[in-house]
Amino acid sequence: MVNFSLVLLFITLFTGIIWIINYFNWPSQNSIEILDKKIINLNIFKKTIQFLASIFPTVMIVFVFRSFFYEPFQIPSGSMMPTLLIGDFILVKKFAYGIKNPINQNMLISTYKPKRGDIAVFQYPKEPTLNYIKRVISIPGDKITYNAFSKTLKIIPACKNQKNCNNLLQITYTNIKPSNFFQTFSKDNNFYQNFESEIVDSSIFNTRKETIGKITHDILISKTIGDQVDLYYHQPGQPQATWIVPEGQYFVMGDNRDNSSDSRYWGFVPERNFIGKAVFIWMSFEKQENMWPTGIRLNRIGSIE
């Protein structure tokens, strides 16, 4: 996969060099005239230098803004429904979890750490070239248990030994009610919000509100599809579906609980993998996975809660 940050850095450096050449009027007029007679057309050469020099400030601003402040991402799947939908274009606050080297993601200046309830973009631990977006559910030291039948969480903060494993974090749920969302399995195992021609099976979701501490958000629960508990990541020394989050790592889940490949299945996210916090939807297209957009959802533009 192409490292876009590296490509943008190369373009910034290249146009910066051209800008310097243009600013100091190098090569000299005499040398250009000599080159003109032997190799190139003088006017084309001049215009090319001036054009490349003119775009340098814009490229530099884009590189700095994208690397250290905000970066745009597109939501490609339904794992964060109903909070984020396929076709949403979001801005991710890059400095939310520290200022990092945009090329290798090494920490330059530490700021804040991920918190429970944050919607975060991170490099998938098993394949760092892929970016995932999930909700941070548990932070280092938490003991978390997920009940795959009631589809509820239990979190005990700072559970590093048996003496500290008694104080449950307050987690509440509203009553389950029907939703308008659909999960559709196509022949290539994609998930869609609406029915498609290549349907193999489908299910309608229920919804409820989940409150973890002071953070409340909507989650989706399938009426007919359950978790594959036998495929859960098994942490040594812990029962099935129970995990203690190690230092420097986090437990994440999708809001679409029955359609999300997350920490339940592949384990924890190291802190160094976090890219930033999703904060704003700047555009939203009515679309389905791997399909062309069919409209614009203007009502979705705004802050992400």
Q: What's the burial of 152, exposed, middle or buried (CB within 10 Å: 0-12/13-18/19+)? A: middle
Tokens representing 60? 């530099």
Peptide bond into 293 cis (omega under 30): no
Residues whose CB is less than 8 angstroms from the CB of residue 96 and which lie 6 or more positions away in sequence, other chains included: 111, 112, 118, 276, 277, 279
- Given the residues 100, 134, 277, 287, the one annotated as active site: 134
Amino acid identity, position 36 = D
Cα-to-chain-centroid distance, residue 268: 15
Amino acid identity, position 74 = Q
Helix-strand-coil split of the chain, %, nearest 5: 25, 35, 40
Q: How many other β-carbons are positioned within 10 Å of the β-carbon of residue 234? A: 14
- Given the residues 67, 77, 79, 138, the one annotated as active site: 79
Q: Of 160, 117, 60, 77, whose CA–CA distance to 250 is shortest?
A: 117
> SS in 3 state form for 5-59?
HHHHHHHHHHHHHHHHHHHCCCCCHHHHHHHHHHCCCHHHHHHHHHHHHHHHHHH
Strands 249-253 and 269-270: antiparallel
Cα-to-chain-centroid distance, residue 179: 25
Is 179 a known active-site residue? no
Tell me which residues are annotated as active site: 79, 134
